[in-house]
Structure 1
Amino acid sequence: MNYYSHNIGDYAQATTHLSLIEDAIYSRLLRRYYAEEQPIMDNMPQVFRWVGARTEEEKEATAQILGEFFDLRDGHWHNKRADVEIAAYRVKAETAKANGRRGGRPRKDDRTSQQPGGFSFGSGDEPDHNPNVTASEANQKTRTGNQEANEHPPSPRKRVTGFDASTIELPNWLDREDWIVWIADRKARRKPVTEEGARRQLQQLAAYLAEGHTPGAVIANSIAGGYQGLFPPRPQGRAGHPPSRAQRLADWADELRDVLADDGRPREKFMGAIDAAH
């Protein structure tokens, strides 16, 4: 990435307590993170060289920053905000590549030209400026044109192949087979993932990963629950017992918010039978 979003307010609020050395080290680590589009490897001599830590004070400050703003997983230091931003960037880049392969964004086809007097003429219909043409003749031409249109209706437009979320570039922490299974499940339920939906869901998976939920487990849980959105497994109150009514309501509320954010049209959701006797 040659560019990343830097929210001055958020950064200032999170780093006000840092010393000048610590602030410089944190900034250098973030720039390295975004430039490489991957987390920082757990190799302290290499990290010290990247941030320019030479003295013992600077090395100690580097270790302090890593422990405060990064999480160590699988031999790499992860930053939650950076993971989300990189995932969103890759989805946007893949969308731009797909548009480029299709010849760029579709251009609007202006098939009509507005003429003075409130009349609109389509392609092939030219206004008759002959002053000798009477109103009845003009009406007759209009009726004849309408009759020809009814006899020879235009052929329906072929639907352009839509966005295929299963082919986009994925971050290295997401297994493509898991993602393809999720996309296929959405297609089977006639709710394919859109470009915007793919971007949001990769951001969600990155956020869940930062919280300790593996993407495969999140996808499996969402498919098993019949969810339209992605939700991590919820811990059950007692082993072997199904989730409580309050938990089911919370799941339903989370899914409803995801549906409304996707296209604004809620879907039917089975919430269980209601016992009117209680």
Structure 2
Amino acid sequence: MNYYSHNIGDYAQATMHLSLVEDAIYSRLLRRYYAEEAPIVDDLQQVCRWVGARTEEEREAVTQVLTEFFTLAEGHWHNKRADVEIAAYHVKADTAKANGKRGGRPRKESGNPEKPSGFSVGSETEPNPNPEETGSKANQEPRTKNQETEEHPPTPRKRGNGFDASAIDLPDWLDREDWQSWVADRKDRKKPVTEEGAKRQLQQLADYRAEGHPPRAVIANSIAGGYQGLFPPRAQARASPPTAAQRRAAWSSELRDVLAEGQERREIDMGVIDASS
């Protein structure tokens, strides 16, 4: 298909909650759907390549968009609205092709015998100089918003697939309260953990654990940083040795304490003092 109907109002209402990345992914998937006149194959790696998803966040957004706006059946992601539009296009194209073979579109019987065919009753409309539209022209017929709404009512927006990431089975090494805290944080930020996302994040936690990062620390760091993905805390930098000024200040403080207590002087480690500073 070189053209498909795009109702701006319906689209805006169905996608106003999407992020900029999710909206771009959904738009690209629809364009490919109509161009190929076929549903999206259930191959996440291939789909991510089609829409240009490179980062982990973008790949997770692809999964979210597929789950919300498409239905998986027989190895393909189907969009109900797109399937209806494609089927209607083929019906029009086949009808136009058949009419072309018969010499043009059949004439409509006029209700006014005094008016020749091609004129509208009560108007001065001239006959259509080119009444026959065949082939791809059938796909270019403009449609009004009211006509589209009557023929194809807007598909209700899905509210997820009922998946509850906080209730899934967890490995023995992962505390459920820690995991539920992570799921609740993602939900509060309007980025709920999907089924596919949960599988990948559990694997990430297992990998981090093997590297020596406790799952609780990884989750706490990700929540504190407001991250959408899981990231281990960065190693703290080693404390730098005290400067000469700091060593002199410490020696002076210790000496004052000794004199204040009236004790005899004792040997105090002054360290190495740089006389040039």
Q: TM-score if structure 2 supplies the norm length? A: 0.39
